[in-house]
Amino acid sequence: MTHRRKIIIDTDPGQDDAVALLLALSAPERLEVLGVTAVAGNVPLALTQRNARVICELAGSSVPVFAGCDAPLKRDLVTAEHVHGKTGLDGCDLPEPARPLRPEHAVEFIIETLRREAPGTVTLCPLGPLTNIATAFQRAPDVVGRVAEIVLMGGAYFEVGNITPAAEFNIYVDPEAAEIVFKSGVPLVVLPLDVTHKALTSRAWVEEMRSLGTPVGRAVAGWTDFFERFDTAKYGSEGAPLHDPCVIAYLLAPDLFSGRHINVEIEVNSPLTLGMTVADWWRVTDRPANALFLGDVDRDGLFRLFSDQIARL
């Protein structure tokens, strides 16, 4: 029997976060989503928490949604409306969510859930800046050892940066939070740009989504069309990278991915390379391995998985 994993999705939707949430909610026999926690990132918190509720409602899910930190630990928030549009979810008009936000702070929810559930049974899935997770670890150090694993989208090594020449967006926005998480000792699986820049949509896949004829299929096609414009202009690639869905795909089908168990540290000082994930891919130091840093993905297998799962909603 396949093991059903308990997860908390920490997110800053974002069209690719949205597809990741849909994917997770499409696999209830494999993933038990205990809660969705919103963080400021692609757009400010007021929008990310709203967008998270819009997406859960689109999927017909009643998973609780919590709002978390509205700014990075030590820095001003940097957002990415230039990629995701003014709302963060441009590309498809969806109704305002009927279900309210849960009143507890996301950080409290993360702490209480980790204390309540058996140690080693809850996986954290961050899809945005790591502010909520780091705040939980700082506020309640007792929960750190109770986390089963953190599977996150962030960082880059061979692909280097997307928000600066050296840094990937999620890590750059809150490098101090990333440093706390990467030094926490929790087993980490990292889906960096090295993988997600291979997870490019194709025209045929977007049309396949649209032709599902479902509200979810139309939304996925509309969102992808929207942010494809930006990525096509920037990278000259045909499609857009579905960054965050790679996290959920890893949980559902880890064999699609390959990587190395290595040391990864975060640059928090240099103005030039702030937020860089310094990954010892070639193992040239004796710094201890703290992360499974993925480097490759079976792109066709990945999109088959996306298609099969999205069609279920």
Contact 34, 44 (CB under 8 A): no
Of 8, 9, 17, 92, the one binding ligand BDR by CB under 6 A: 17
240 part of the interface to Ca ion, by CB under 5 A: no
Amino acid at 99: R
Q: Is 84 a catalytic residue?
A: no
* 207-211 CB contacts, 8 Å cutoff, 24+ apart: 208/307, 209/307, 209/310
Taking CB under 6 A as the criterion, which residues in 38-67 touch ligand BDR? 42
Looking at the DSSP bridge assignments, the partners of residue 260 are 293
Of 35, 126, 128, 155, the one binding Ca ion by CB under 5 A: 128
Beta strands 147-153 and 264-266 are unpaired
169 part of the interface to ligand BDR, by CB under 6 A: yes
Residue 246: count other Cβ atoms within 10 Å of its Cβ: 27
290 part of the interface to ligand BDR, by CB under 6 A: no
Report which DSSP code applies to 236.
Answer: -
- Measured from the CB atom, the residue of 160 and 289 that comes closer to ligand BDR is 160
Task: Quote the CA–CA distance of 244 and 16 in Å, as a whole number.
Answer: 6
80 part of the interface to ligand BDR, by CB under 6 A: yes
Catalytic residue among 82, 84, 243, 261: 243
From 12-20, 174-182, 197-205, 280-288, span contacting ligand BDR (CB under 6 A): 12-20
Q: SS3 for 258?
A: strand
Instruction: Give the 3-state secondary structure of 221-234.
Output: HHHHHHHHHHHHHH
Q: Where are the alpha helices (DSSP H) in the chain?
A: 15-25, 45-58, 81-84, 106-116, 131-139, 169-173, 175-182, 193-196, 203-210, 215-235, 245-252, 299-310
**Is 163 exposed, middle or buried, given 0-12, 13-18 or 19+ CB atoms closer than 10 A?**
middle
Q: Which does 169 bind (CB under 5 to 8 A by kind): Ca ion, ligand BDR, none?
A: ligand BDR
Q: Which does 294 bind (CB under 5 to 8 A by kind): ligand BDR, Ca ion, none?
A: none
Of 5, 50, 53, 243, the one binding ligand BDR by CB under 6 A: 243
CB of 103 to Ca ion, least distance (A): 24
250 part of the interface to ligand BDR, by CB under 6 A: no
Q: Which does 174 bind (CB under 5 to 8 A by kind): ligand BDR, Ca ion, none?
A: none
246 part of the interface to ligand BDR, by CB under 6 A: no
CB of 145 to ligand BDR, least distance (A): 27
CB of 72 to ligand BDR, least distance (A): 14
CB of 191 to ligand BDR, least distance (A): 9
3-state helix, strand, coil in the chain (%, to 5): 40, 20, 40
Residues making up the chain, counted from first to last:
313
- Measured from the CB atom, the residue of 143 and 155 that comes closer to ligand BDR is 155
Which residues make up the interface to Ca ion (CB under 5 A)?
Answer: 12, 14, 17, 127-128, 244
Which residues make up the interface to ligand BDR (CB under 6 A)?
Answer: 14, 16-17, 42, 80, 83, 127-128, 153, 162, 168-170, 243-244
Active site residues: 243
